[in-house]
Structure formats: structure tokens, C-alpha cells
Amino acid sequence: NPLRYQWVWNFSEWYSLVKTRLKYGFLDKTWKEVICRQYENAKSFSEWLASVYKKETGYQFIDHIWNVVKTIEIEGINRLWSFFSWRALIKIVSKFWMNRRFWFIDKNYDICIPAQYSSASNFYSWIALVQDNKRYWFLYTDGYVKWMLDPIYDTVIFNQLDGVDLF
């Protein structure tokens, strides 16, 4: 029964992410709960993987048959998104930066774009919106700047997906 959930996301790759007050899980297209609500944080499936988090195990990627594919072990990790355009966004919180920074990892789980941005979106059609020093750039998946926006904008809204506020 979908009314017992606080949030129900769109179906993505055959599954819907659901949330009660404290835990996330997944439903199949028959509304059967295929992964009980056991995660403190989770993101929808994308590119055949979903990002999940439990305090005991940390941030992980799981596949469609619920196997843990990879545990992400990066110091200071605060949030992990699912893959888009072969890149996954990671939010790092560090005393060194006195705030948050965003990194991207590739499908080999290697850092491909280091933590140099104070805000970032997921990649959509191979382009992400990033911000630092009150300037916005559109970035390619290889880390090169596609174009810079004029500094006349206070806020830039780029495609929001998965219920995540980008800025």
C-alpha cells in the first residue's frame, strides 16, 4: 500500500525508491517491497546501480539483485548519488575546507573530478552544473569547462532529479 510511505519516487529501472520517516527501501512494479526499509539514505537506480547508506556499512552501490557492488571508502563522505552519464556525485565535508566540497567518481570508482566545487549537480546528458566562488560553470564529464555563466545570476536552477536539492 503506497499510503504507508512518506515519500515514493518515480520508478527507475524497474524499482521505486520509498521512504518512511526514518528508512529507505525499494518497491517493484507490483508495489511489493523488494528491499525492506533498511537504509538511512538511498538514491534511485540509475545505470543499473543504486546508492545506499547504512551507519554500519557506510555508503555503497547495490545492483538490481541487491548485491553490494562496491563500498565507497572516502574520508569525510557525507552523501553519495547514483551514477548519471557514467559519473557519481559525492559530497565531502571536511574541516580543512571549513565547508562542503563535491567530487565525482567514474564507473571504476576512481575520483575523476576532484573536490574543487562548493556546489554541483549530477551529470545530465554528459554535462553538470558546478559552482565555486559565486560563479557557475557547465562541466563535461572529463572535468573540462563547457562554458561559464555570467556572474549576474544569484541562483541557477539546473535539472533536479531524485528529489535532491542542488543548491
Each residue's pLDDT tens digit, 83-128: 888 888 888 787 665 577 888 888 898 888 877 788 888 887 788 8
Q: Given the C-alpha cell 528491499, which residue does it identify?
A: 35
pLDDT value of position 103: 82
pTM of the model: 0.76
* Predicted confidence (pLDDT) at residue 152 exceeds the cutoff of 70: no
Of the pLDDT bands very low, low, confident and very high (cuts 50, 70, 90), residue 163 is very low
The residue with cell 566562488 is 133
Using alpha carbons only, give the angle 90, 59, 55 rounded to the nearest 5 degrees: 130
Tens digit of pLDDT for each residue in 44-62? 999 999 999 999 999 999 9
Integer CA distances (angstroms), 38 to 25, 33, 41, 52, 57, in order: 6, 11, 9, 10, 12
Cell numbers 575546507 label which residue? 97
Which pLDDT value is given to residue 151?
54
Q: Which residue has better confidence, 150 or 44?
A: 44
